[in-house]
Amino acid sequence: MMIDSKYRNKNLQVFNNDTVVTEGWYWALQSRELKIGKAKAVRLSGKDLAIFRTESGKVVAMDAYCPHRGAHLAGGTVEGEALRCYYHHWKFNEDGKCVDVPCLKKAPKAEVSTYPTEDHYGLIWVWVGQGQPHELPIVPDLEGHDVDVTFAKPYVKNCHPNIVMSDAIDVQHFRSVHRIPGNILHIEGRKINDNTLRYDNVAAMPTDTVIGRLLAPFYKKQLTYSLCYWGGCAGSVTVGPDFQRYHIIYANRLGDNGVSEGQVILLTKRSKNALGRIYGKALLGATRIVSDYFANGDTPQFDSIKFDFKTPIKDDKTILTFMSHVEGLPVADWGFSKPNKINSVDLSPASKSKETEDEACTIS
């Protein structure tokens, strides 16, 4: 039975919109790429940034272009806790204020905007949004634990990050693409807070099939498939038997021309002894195999999909929940995003759908 669709692109304001960036933490680059005393140029969802690591190890993200004549600050030199532009040697501290110009006795009242950053799970994350930064993405099973991290190959997908994220909760595609029997997976979602969704498999392990009987000894209740989604562009996936979990984070950001730029983080709890660390490395290798298997199966559709949800069915409930969640997220004034043009759309099942500048460096 077809469900009347409110989920067409023409009815959506935020989901799958390549002129919208929602508030949240977004990956900028891998931590190991930014050494102490170095600066990097990063383009994050339509905004150019200069990101540098101070001599004390702090990561600073600021608007890329010098307010004097527009030189890219990432080409400059880190001096202590500040960054000096290579062009005319104006120096900006970690708060973005100009504190020194060699040819002047007193620095002018010039500044660039800066943005909160965190070094977390092997990535440098930048807070995008006007509001108070919320908590960093945390894999539920790893909360409070030290972790070892490695990365699969970064990717660019020819579709919006929201579409990439919706794939992992598409129950139908597990049967059609990955050949996983349908009675093993039944995913239900729940809202953790205004930013976070949690999805879990609740299907009991079937014992009337060969594959069910083979897997049953490794799972007390059901096949482990648990997801935690932060905002609309990043989330964790936890799979594996009861005695061993595999943890993967898919972190996406909106790139130019509506593409998804992604990092795949592979994680495991850090052991305190040498033998445990060797096992941890082997486990991360196994996690990469799991990640690559699902990624390779899904890549072809990401390269050609033209998303427009004309005929959702009952099995699409998880995706519809995710779409409704994204539609309600705060929109940031950032890069491609023009929040003054966005009206929220209520996609809750009981309601009817409604019709519905870049920040610049400044001298004060």
- Here the CATH number for the domain that contains residue 76 is 2.102.10.10
Q: Do 213 and 313 share a domain, yes or no?
A: yes
Residue 345 contacts residue 12 (beta carbons within 8 Å)? yes
Separation in Å, CA 217 to CA 206, 213, 241: 12, 8, 9
Q: What percent of the chain has pLDDT over 70?
A: 87
In a domain, 357, yes or no: no
In a domain, 56, yes or no: yes
pLDDT per position as a tens digit, 203-248: 777 666 666 667 667 777 777 889 999 999 999 999 888 788 889 9
Q: Do 198 and 97 share a domain, yes or no?
A: no
Q: Do 190 and 71 share a domain, yes or no?
A: no
Last residue of a domain, one of 127, 149, 175: 127
Q: Which residues contact 17 (CB under 8 A, 6 or more apart)?
A: 160
Q: Do 303 and 168 share a domain, yes or no?
A: yes
pLDDT per position as a tens digit, 94-118: 999 999 999 999 999 999 999 999 9
Q: Do 54 and 155 share a domain, yes or no?
A: no
In a domain, 360, yes or no: no
Q: SS3 breakdown of the chain: % helix, strand, coil, rounded to 5?
A: 25, 30, 45
Cα gap 63→49, rounded to integer Å: 5
In a domain, 82, yes or no: yes
Cα gap 364→362, rounded to integer Å: 6
Last residue of a domain, one of 89, 106, 127: 127
pLDDT at 344: 53
In a domain, 303, yes or no: yes
Cα gap 290→123, rounded to integer Å: 21
Cα gap 358→153, rounded to integer Å: 31
CB atoms within 10 A of CB 332: 22
Query: Number of folded domains in the chain?
Result: 2
Phi-psi label, residue 72: left if phi above 0, alpha if psi -120 to 50, beta otherwise: beta
Residue 295 contacts residue 279 (beta carbons within 8 Å)? no
In a domain, 273, yes or no: yes
Q: Do 167 and 304 share a domain, yes or no?
A: yes
**Parallel, antiparallel, or unpaired: how do β-strands 155-157 and 187-191 relate?**
unpaired
Structural domain span for residue 319? 140-323
pLDDT at 336: 82
Cα gap 300→295, rounded to integer Å: 9
Residue 200 contacts residue 187 (beta carbons within 8 Å)? yes
pLDDT per position as a tens digit, 283-322: 899 888 888 877 777 778 888 889 888 888 888 899 999 9
The H-or-E segment that residue 60 falls in is strand 59-63
Q: Do 234 and 104 share a domain, yes or no?
A: no
Q: Do 81 and 156 share a domain, yes or no?
A: no
Domain with 256 in it: what CATH number? 3.90.380.10
Q: Do 189 and 52 share a domain, yes or no?
A: no
Question: How much is the mean pLDDT over the chain?
Answer: 86
Give the chain's count of helices (H) and strands (E).
Answer: 5, 21
In a domain, 147, yes or no: yes
Q: Do 286 and 185 share a domain, yes or no?
A: yes
CB atoms within 10 A of CB 133: 17
Q: Do 188 and 289 share a domain, yes or no?
A: yes
Residue 175 contacts residue 187 (beta carbons within 8 Å)? no
In a domain, 352, yes or no: no
Last residue of a domain, one of 60, 93, 127: 127
Q: Do 117 and 145 share a domain, yes or no?
A: no
CB atoms within 10 A of CB 42: 20
Distance of CA 159 to the CA centre of its chain: 14
